[in-house]
Structure 1
Amino acid sequence: MNNFVPATDQVEISIPDEVEELFNVRRDGLPEVIAINEGLLSFPHHSIFPWYLCITLEAQYLIDNGMPSPRESELLFEMVDELSLVVMGGRTMSGSVNALFLARSTWNGKRELYYYVHDPKVVHGKLQQALNSKTWHREWSYRMEFDKEWEKATYIFQVFPQASGLSS
């Protein structure tokens, strides 16, 4: 567990360790491979991380059902690693964790990364720097929305019962 001290309240909370669980599910009739941070399933402090962030990477070389080819998937994972460092490397003004990893999804020609964020300005600035810092191998974009109740995470958390314990 990591400790987080919000800059305004000075209340210490425990951040659960990242525990990824991988699922093969279907969304809109297409296969989806989704890795979910199980540690956030029971995280009670949604109001401290009220900003939903989705980063979308566009795959170019696809095989069956909109899934990336093995080489394409490898390239996307390299980008995911780099972008994850950008998002997760940011800190609050008090030096605490600023973002929580929620999930990573591959579906319909895209790889998406989902996070919840404390201070959106920190992440926005770092992502803008990343967008402008180099020529990326694939197009990517992001959007951030205020979602204090974590309603955007509903689909992701519903994957657990949908999978009926059949994780891979």
Structure 2
Amino acid sequence: MFKKLFSKKEPKTYGPTEPIYPGELFEVAEISDDNGFFGFSNINKSYDNYPNKKYFPWWIQVTLELVDIDDRKMPTESEAQILNELEDEIEKFISEKHKTHFIGRVTQNGFRDIIFYVQEPKFDQEKTNIFFDQVQKKRRVNFTMEKDLEWKNVSGLIK
């Protein structure tokens, strides 16, 4: 009995550690290569080495097609404003039923990817279809969700 009480084993954790949300430290980075590829990422670096990844294993990526672009396939100022408004609407929709971790966005080659992680999918199919049909009227959109326990889908963006 005393062995159990005084053993040096670490206590079991039954859920995510505090803080659930690590804060905000967004870092903007340019993406380019020798072939003319160009883009920007805006990533919340507070998620570097985030200890609760396994508790939020569902990766969500929403890709929006850019309409009004410059010669580098990047959004014009007015397009960026529309994209930011859509991003706010999408984040609000996802956050309605989820503890939502907004990782950031990547804008490149005529598209913007908005990246989130959630605890588990709690989407109502009909409500989700209606919401994204409304987004589709403004911009072509693609919604992707998959289980990513180790957050490998964002390993090039955060540690």
Q: Tell me the TM-score normalised to structure 2 length.
A: 0.78
Aligned position for 2:118: 117
> Cα–Cα, structure 1 residues 155 and 89, in superposed 2: closer, same or farther, change >3 Å?
same
Q: What is the identity, as a one-letter code, of the residue corresponding to 1:36? A: I
Q: What is the identity, as a one-letter code, of the residue corresponding to 1:144? A: M
Residue 120 of structure 1 and its aligned partner are, at CA, apart by 1.2
Residue 124 of structure 1 and its aligned partner are, at CA, apart by 6.6
**Cα distance between partner residues in 2 of 1:10 and 1:33:** 34
**Cα distance between partner residues in 2 of 1:45 and 1:139:** 33
Q: How does 1:41-80 map to 2 (within 5 A)?
A: 41-80=48-87
- Unaligned 5+ segments in structure 1 are 1-8, 92-97, 159-168
1:39 and 2:46 correspond? yes
SS of residue in 1 equivalent to 2:122: helix
Q: What is the identity, as a one-letter code, of the residue corresponding to 2:103? A: L
Residue 157 of structure 1 and its aligned partner are, at CA, apart by 2.2
Most deviating of 144-153 and 18-27: 18-27
**Relative to total residues, which structure has the larger helix share, 1 or 2?**
1
Which of the two has higher C-alpha Rg?
2
Provide the aligned C-alpha RMSD in A: 2.4
Q: What is the identity, as a one-letter code, of the residue corresponding to 2:76? A: S
Residue 125 of structure 1 and its aligned partner are, at CA, apart by 6.9
Most deviating of 141-150 and 69-78: 69-78
SS of residue in 1 equivalent to 2:72: helix
- Unaligned 5+ segments in structure 2 are 1-13
Residue 126 of structure 1 and its aligned partner are, at CA, apart by 5.8
Aligned position for 2:18: 13
Q: What is the identity, as a one-letter code, of the residue corresponding to 1:50? A: P
Q: Tell me the TM-score normalised to structure 1 length.
A: 0.74
Aligned sequence identity (%): 27
> Cα–Cα, structure 1 residues 34 and 126, in superposed 2: closer, same or farther, change >3 Å?
farther
